[in-house]
Structure 1
Amino acid sequence: MMKTFLIPAKYNEIQIGELLDRLPYISENITGVEYNSTNKTINIYLQDETYLSFLEDGLKDIEDNIEILRVAKQRIIKDNTVSDNLQAKTEVKETKSFYTEIEMILMERLDNILLKIAKGNEAINRQYPSLLTEEAMDRCQYHKSFPQNVYSLFHIPHDFRIIEQIRKESEGLPFPAFVPAGIYLRPCICYHVYEELAQQPVNEFIIYTSRGQCFRHEVAWKTNDFRKTEFTMREIVFVGHREQVESFRNQLMDEIWNLFEKLGLHGKLLTARDPFFHYDDLKTKGAFQAMANAKYELEFISNAGNTFSIASFNNCGDMICQKYGITDTSQEYLYSGCIAFGLDRWKEAICDVYGDNEADWPSLLKNLN
């Protein structure tokens, strides 16, 4: 069934965006959301009409939060958008569950460029596991900020009676036998760096980089080639004093923007609308001001006119270092930042503009050996 709701007339563009972002998380029963900008209405599709009252309550909850939320207007730092973007050389394709060899080659070349930038800034290269322990999750508190994105693992105990019982069952998976493993699929890479540095003094500005698979539980009907539940990230994580962290983040924003333009991509570098804070944390002036500068995003604009964030530039203040007990030699908590690149999205951006024929790619991505 479909239900139409009228958006409050006083909502500005940012508040409408916030509403649209939050709506899918009211219930798994929602199968789609459509926004009509002309008459300011939202069409919400439900699997089961018995969930309608639940939907209405959830929508009221979100609207109440938006009413009291102090929303910072997005600031555009850099913009190279054009009205006549290149036309895509390939037809829009259905989302698939694998990458072709040429796509794998493209991702490797993109990552090599990003790794070179990291190493050029004396980053320490690391490879970390794809899992987070229960202790690590409890310390980083990701499950408090983004509970809807967490994947938890389950296993079957090493108990011969349970194992024998399962072997005797002829059909289906033995769901009652599974128990929580106390292990989580990592949603990002940076927490491994903080685990490595936890409870020890850091006597100099330090930079790490790592690449790996990450996992987030996304709304099923919103997944596509740009938004996946499993994806590859390259991260650059840095820890130091306040001025060092902010200065390095700004430096990396300039370097990555230059790369973005050299690759012939179009989009904007702007303040993010989805900082990593709760609604309740944003009701004071200080928190509001901190939020406005906490996160920047590099948005790619596709040939179809859709925007996708392909990199984020985060200044975490001293918040995460406090959680992990990371200090300088004077026992003062340090500051940290993280630059995150969605390699799958960079790959899709190149394919959207140039197609998957290597001969058509920018010179930076061609095999020049």
Structure 2
Amino acid sequence: MTTTECVISLERLDPSQHGQLKYAAAFADEHIDTITLENNAIRIVHSSPAGNGRIQERVERLIERFSRGDFGFKEANLFEYSGPMPYREDIVAELVRRKAIKMLEPGLFIFREPFSSLMRFLDWSFVTRIAKKFEGLTEEQYPAVIHAETLNKTNHFTSFPEHIHFLTHLREDLDVIEAFSQSVREAGGWKQEDPLSLDVNMPKPRFTMNPSTCYHCYEGLQDETLEGDGITVTAIAKCHRFEGKNHSDFGRLLDFSMREIIFVGKPEFVKENRLKSIEYLKELAAEWELDSVIELANDPFFTNDFQVKASFQRQQEMKYELRLTIPYINKSIACSSVNFHSTTFGNAFNIKLGKRSAVTGCVGFGIERWTFAFLAQYGLDESAWPRAFREQYRAWQEKAL
């Protein structure tokens, strides 16, 4: 199909919102090929049969969403560290060339040595260097799937509907199952355009792939009353978020590992532990000589009231991100986040301390992102790695063996 370009001016939009618009514009039409920002405009290459008209109308709608109101995004940096970043090449290309990773498609990888070992080391470091500093820490394990009703309670369907991977199955009907099997056999294997109508022969989904580690923690505490000041839980889970053409961006994975430290309890308990987490992150980033910043942030809400929600998060300082520089693209990516949810999840899941709803907060570590970002700054040659990181990694390897 013939491709065409649609160029739309961004003069009405504050430059701070250009990245959010680019992300959201990937969902304007399923026939979009590439999106770039240039000269205060957004350029979209697509093969949509509806032509430029529909693309332009939808992107203009998004521009209106992100420019609505005069909220003024609060900005603040808690920490900055200038690392040496001796490696400046395309680390993804180098990893593919060395067969340390196998790209199945944008955002979906198989990780091999040494990438896979670095992932395990980093997760071990986050547990031993940060999580275990919190008194009374317990560890949990979660499934990769989550009840749709649980996501409903977290408002994920309304805040981030574009992310959801729904799970379903063939109906429990012998005729349907046999017809499906026969249709695949006659077609010579599974094909996207399979003649059997799957939407008719599958029930509405009760489960989705889990998009965030901490949701299972709150689900597990539903209708419970906690004792003392609160609890601290750590867990690592496979998370899944569909992000369309954005998966071609550095670090945006379809399937990724998220280590979290989760605090549930009294407001003072959660706030104090959240502040400690930021200090521990600062110490680790500086010790490992990572070019990094911890800054005030907001979630990329995919909603008409984006400005209201995002501005509220920033004004209340509910989210901070640790961002690591990726030298070869001259950008940074969020590798950790430190979040305060107030009573949102305590109310949603009826988690109590006495008669009051529990407050929650969490610290997240994107394991693959940390690994990509570290290698983007230092490369695969261990002799070029920061001394502290190299020594800790080798000591861990000896124990792991």
Specify if TM > 0.5.
yes
What letter matches 2:10 in structure 1? I
What letter matches 2:151 in structure 1? M
Question: What is the aligned partner in structure 2 of residue 101 from structure 1?
Answer: 113
Relative to structure 1, is the Cα distance of residues 91 and 272 closer, same or farther in structure 2, using a 3 angstrom cutoff?
Answer: closer
Displacement of 1:111: 0.5
1:293-304 equivalent positions in 2, closer than 5 A: 293-304=317-328
CA distance in 2, matches of 1:3, 1:198: 48
Question: What is the aligned partner in structure 2 of residue 244 from structure 1?
Answer: 269
Contact 1:197-1:326 within 8 A present in 2 as well: yes
| 3-state SS of 1:50 partner | coil
Relative to structure 1, is the Cα distance of residues 21 and 89 closer, same or farther in structure 2, using a 3 angstrom cutoff?
Answer: closer
CA distance in 2, matches of 1:281, 1:271: 16
CA distance in 1, matches of 2:371, 2:112: 12
Pair 1:4 & 2:3 matched: no
Pair 1:128 & 2:142 matched: yes
Relative to structure 1, is the Cα distance of residues 255 and 279 closer, same or farther in structure 2, using a 3 angstrom cutoff?
Answer: farther
Displacement of 1:49: 5.6
Question: What is the aligned partner in structure 2 of residue 220 from structure 1?
Answer: 245
Displacement of 1:275: 5.6
| 3-state SS of 1:235 partner | strand
1:192-203 equivalent positions in 2, closer than 5 A: 192-203=216-227
State which drifts further: 310-319 or 274-283: 274-283
CA distance in 2, matches of 1:358, 1:212: 28
Contact 1:296-1:314 within 8 A present in 2 as well: yes
Relative to structure 1, is the Cα distance of residues 154 and 175 closer, same or farther in structure 2, using a 3 angstrom cutoff?
Answer: farther
Q: Which runs of 5+ in 2 are unaligned?
A: 97-101, 104-108
Displacement of 1:121: 0.9
1:192-341 equivalent positions in 2, closer than 5 A: 192-204=216-228, 205-223=230-248, 226-274=251-299, 278-280=303-305, 282-283=307-308, 288-292=311-315, 293-304=317-328, 305-329=330-354, 331-341=355-365
Displacement of 1:353: 2.3
Question: What is the aligned partner in structure 2 of residue 151 from structure 1?
Answer: 165
What letter matches 2:377 in structure 1? V
| 3-state SS of 1:98 partner | strand
What letter matches 2:293 in structure 1? K
Pair 1:342 & 2:372 matched: no
1:23-38 equivalent positions in 2, closer than 5 A: 23-36=25-38
Contact 2:141-2:237 within 8 A present in 1 as well: yes
State which drifts further: 335-344 or 23-32: 23-32
Contact 1:214-1:233 within 8 A present in 2 as well: yes
Contact 1:223-1:229 within 8 A present in 2 as well: no
Relative to structure 1, is the Cα distance of residues 179 and 165 closer, same or farther in structure 2, using a 3 angstrom cutoff?
Answer: same
Displacement of 1:277: 8.1
Question: What is the aligned partner in structure 1 of residue 153 from structure 2?
Answer: 139
Identity %: 23
What letter matches 2:244 in structure 1? V
| 3-state SS of 1:365 partner | helix
CA distance in 2, matches of 1:91, 1:214: 23
Contact 1:111-1:343 within 8 A present in 2 as well: yes
Q: CA RMSD in A?
A: 2.4
Contact 1:282-1:288 within 8 A present in 2 as well: yes
What letter matches 2:376 in structure 1? D
In the TM superposition, what whole-angstrom CA distance separates every residue of 1:197-253 from its partner, at most 9, and x where no partner exists? 111211222111101211000123533551110001101110122222222111101
Relative to structure 1, is the Cα distance of residues 277 and 194 closer, same or farther in structure 2, using a 3 angstrom cutoff?
Answer: farther
- TM value normalised by structure 1: 0.90
What letter matches 1:309 in structure 2? A
Contact 1:139-1:324 within 8 A present in 2 as well: yes
Contact 1:152-1:180 within 8 A present in 2 as well: no
CA distance in 1, matches of 2:302, 2:251: 24
CA distance in 2, matches of 1:104, 1:326: 37
Contact 1:201-1:328 within 8 A present in 2 as well: yes
Aligned residue pair count: 362
Question: What is the aligned partner in structure 1 of residue 99 from structure 2?
Answer: none
CA distance in 1, matches of 2:178, 2:22: 49
Displacement of 1:259: 0.8
Displacement of 1:20: 2.7
CA distance in 2, matches of 1:101, 1:33: 33
| 3-state SS of 1:259 partner | helix
CA distance in 2, matches of 1:279, 1:90: 37
| 3-state SS of 1:73 partner | coil
Displacement of 1:132: 0.6
CA distance in 2, matches of 1:16, 1:255: 32
CA distance in 1, matches of 2:212, 2:65: 27
Contact 1:298-1:309 within 8 A present in 2 as well: yes
Contact 2:319-2:339 within 8 A present in 1 as well: yes
Question: What is the aligned partner in structure 1 of residue 75 from structure 2?
Answer: 74
